[in-house]
């Protein structure tokens, strides 16, 4: 089995991107355990470059599953995303300095794609591991959604029915005002993603 797992580089005020750190740790663990089913890649946080790279990876690898990770710093749980929108709409620039407002990702393509990841089994696996998670209906309209849509569009174009979708993770745990816990510890998020990957592996 070949599972493509992607994360993103830091961007804007996100100096440490949890998705990147998770992917790097998963890759190191796979190498140490001599697993050859995991293909880990870090994508640029740029609309055009990230879209091109995920499509190129899917064409080259022809994976049995695609799990794109992105960070949603304001969220407090792991979010399994249901829908990718054919829309870029964000006032903040990407890392190439580009701002995209109200633009379709692929002209003439569907307005949205549903994820093909097994969300409910993944949610149950994380609950069993004691990790807070939820199923989310909105992946935003920034680069995470862009990559989610491009990945699903490429899989449809290739008639590849393998599971494909996006999981949002919160920021790496820290303390906020009043010593309130924010985000989740990195170790817990790695366990969450490993739980989801094991669902795909049938474990």
Active site residues: 81, 144, 168
Give residues with Cβ within 8 angstroms of 135, minimum separation 6: 79, 80, 82, 119, 120, 123
**CA distances, 117 to each of 93, 104, 163, 167 (Å):** 29, 23, 5, 10
Separation between Cα atoms, residue 7 and residue 33, nearest integer Å = 21
**Quick check: 127 and 28 in contact, CB under 8 A?**
no
Separation between Cα atoms, residue 67 and residue 3, nearest integer Å = 7
Give me the torsion for CA of 99, 104, 115, 10, rounded to 10°.
-10
Burial of 76 (0-12, 13-18, 19+ CB in 10 A): middle
Q: Helices 186-201 and 18-32 meet at what angle, rounded to 10? A: 60
């Amino acid at each position: 089995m070949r599972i493509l797992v992607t994360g993103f580089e830091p961007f804007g005020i996100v100096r440490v991107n949890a998705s990147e750190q998770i992917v790097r740790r998963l890759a190191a663990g796979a190498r140490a355990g001599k697993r050859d089913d995991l293909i880990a890649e870090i994508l640029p946080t740029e609309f055009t470059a990230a879209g091109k790279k995920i499509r190129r990876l899917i064409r080259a690898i022809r994976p049995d599953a695609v799990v794109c990770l992105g960070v949603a710093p304001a969220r407090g749980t792991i979010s399994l995303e249901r829908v990718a929108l054919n829309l870029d709409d964000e006032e903040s620039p990407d890392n190439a300095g580009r701002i995209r407002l109200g633009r379709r990702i692929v002209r003439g393509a569907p307005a949205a794609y549903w994820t093909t990841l097994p969300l409910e089994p993944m949610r149950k696996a994380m609950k069993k591991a004691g990790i807070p998670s939820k199923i989310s209906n909105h992946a935003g309209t920034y680069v995470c959604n862009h990559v989610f849509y491009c990945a699903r569009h490429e899989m449809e174009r290739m008639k590849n029915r393998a599971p494909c979708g996006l999981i949002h993770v919160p920021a790496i745990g820290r303390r906020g005002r009043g010593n309130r816990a924010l985000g989740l510890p990195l170790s817990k998020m790695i366990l969450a993603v490993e739980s989801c990957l094991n669902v795909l592996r049938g474990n």
